[in-house]
Amino acid sequence: MQIFHPGDPGYDDERSGFQTGLRHEPQVIFAVENAEDVRKAVEHAEANGLPYEVQATGHGLTTPTTGVLISTKRMNGVHVDPAQRTATVEAGALWQQVIDAAAPHGLAPLSGDAGDVGVVGYTLGGGHGLLAREFGLARDRVRSMDKIGEVVTTLEFELLPVNQVHSGEMYFDAKHAEAVFDAFHRWDLPDHVTPSLATIAFPDIPVLPEPLRGQNTVRLTYASTRPFDIDHLKVAPRLTEEFGVKPFHRASGGELPPHTYQGDNVLLSDLPAEALHSVRERAAGSDVPIFLGLLPLNDKISPGATHLLKLISPRLHVEDRHAEVFDAVRPYVVGRSRNFRFAVG
């Protein structure tokens, strides 16, 4: 196992992750490779009265640690048991590894929209996947876990007999946002369909496809193992769209490059159309870029909550601006998901 202190070659690389706006500021980093290394790191923290934090990918960094950082990215074994329909992963495994190992057996995990997110962090935070309304949260499929201190060293969970999904997305110019939000809100949503609505402003850079480059957009996504209809969502011209049956691994979104972002979320007991439009208008009218995401829930995900509303900005120190947007739904807030909290203490 490698151990890094401030100033050592490799220290900055080891503490850096997907979030580029802030980094852990540890006194020492233990780059663990197995459970014994984790034990040594936890014992070091406890013996010296230091706090410790885990980092697999840095996607979910909330508060940087100044104590001990346990970097798990090298401890990333994945084992699929097709007979038991389970996967067992080590602390730093990524979803893409599980998806790739499960697919040849006609199995899939309850992973989300990014294959480079860590399995353990995602699952401990709930784990709202592509098929969440159909099969529930990832954390509800956990069979067992091994822990040393607060560090999960192995996680065993169920896989689903899913190899194909009906899924797709539509992008609209943001000038049609009101009509698209209305159609999404009116959708008599079948319980087996997991959709999302998001606003996204794309930079004007050549790697992006022409219809999206430099555009303010509204994106709808939807997925299920069973067929469903989306025609009623086509209330305005689409910038791009696709919908069809595809292998599970092709239904995940592409991986994003590391960047700076801050975000938070609320769980809502109700979301009347006026409140949704108010959120949309406040986010669009803010003096900082705020992108919103909306996930309709059901009882399999969160009894008592109908929606998860998340806000994200490509910069830090925007908590106050996000609070102004969340104020539009304050009467309906019943909680918050541990996932979808980024660079907020």
Ligand X SMILES: Cc1cc2nc3c(=O)[nH]c(=O)nc-3n(C[C@H](O)[C@H](O)[C@H](O)COP(=O)(O)OP(=O)(O)OC[C@H]3O[C@@H](n4cnc5c(N)ncnc54)[C@H](O)[C@@H]3O)c2cc1C
Binding site for ligand X (CB under 6 A): 17, 53-61, 72, 91, 112-114, 117-118, 120-122, 124-128, 150-152, 256, 339-340
Specify the residue, 65 or 275, whose C-beta has the smaller distance to ligand X.
65
CB-CB contact of 156 with 143 (8 Å): yes
Specify the residue, 112 or 195, whose C-beta has the smaller distance to ligand X.
112
Closest approach of ligand X to the CB of residue 331, in Å: 25
Specify the residue, 165 or 275, whose C-beta has the smaller distance to ligand X.
165
Closest approach of ligand X to the CB of residue 176, in Å: 25
Specify the residue, 152 or 180, whose C-beta has the smaller distance to ligand X.
152
Closest approach of ligand X to the CB of residue 138, in Å: 7
Give the CA angle between residues 278, 279, 282 to the nearest 5°.
85
Whole-angstrom distance, CA of residue 137 vs CA of residue 134: 9
Whole-angstrom distance, CA of residue 190 vs CA of residue 169: 17
Tell me how crowded residue 269 is: count the other CB atoms within 10 A of its CB. 14
CB-CB contact of 162 with 326 (8 Å): no
Residue type (1 letter), 144:
S
Specify the residue, 31 or 124, whose C-beta has the smaller distance to ligand X.
124
Closest approach of ligand X to the CB of residue 272, in Å: 25
Q: Name beta bridge partners: 71.
A: 31, 55
Closest approach of ligand X to the CB of residue 129, in Å: 6
Whole-angstrom distance, CA of residue 9 vs CA of residue 37: 20
Closest approach of ligand X to the CB of residue 19, in Å: 7
Specify the residue, 59 or 282, whose C-beta has the smaller distance to ligand X.
59
Whole-angstrom distance, CA of residue 155 vs CA of residue 295: 26
Whole-angstrom distance, CA of residue 167 vs CA of residue 212: 20
CB-CB contact of 61 with 69 (8 Å): no
Closest approach of ligand X to the CB of residue 90, in Å: 8
Distances (CA, A) of 227 to 74, 102, 206: 40, 23, 35
Specify the residue, 114 or 233, whose C-beta has the smaller distance to ligand X.
114
- The token duo for 188 is 């008599």
Closest approach of ligand X to the CB of residue 60, in Å: 2
DSSP 327: G
Specify the residue, 60 or 296, whose C-beta has the smaller distance to ligand X.
60
Helices within the chain (DSSP H only): 11-15, 35-47, 95-102, 119-124, 132-135, 177-186, 273-285, 319-326
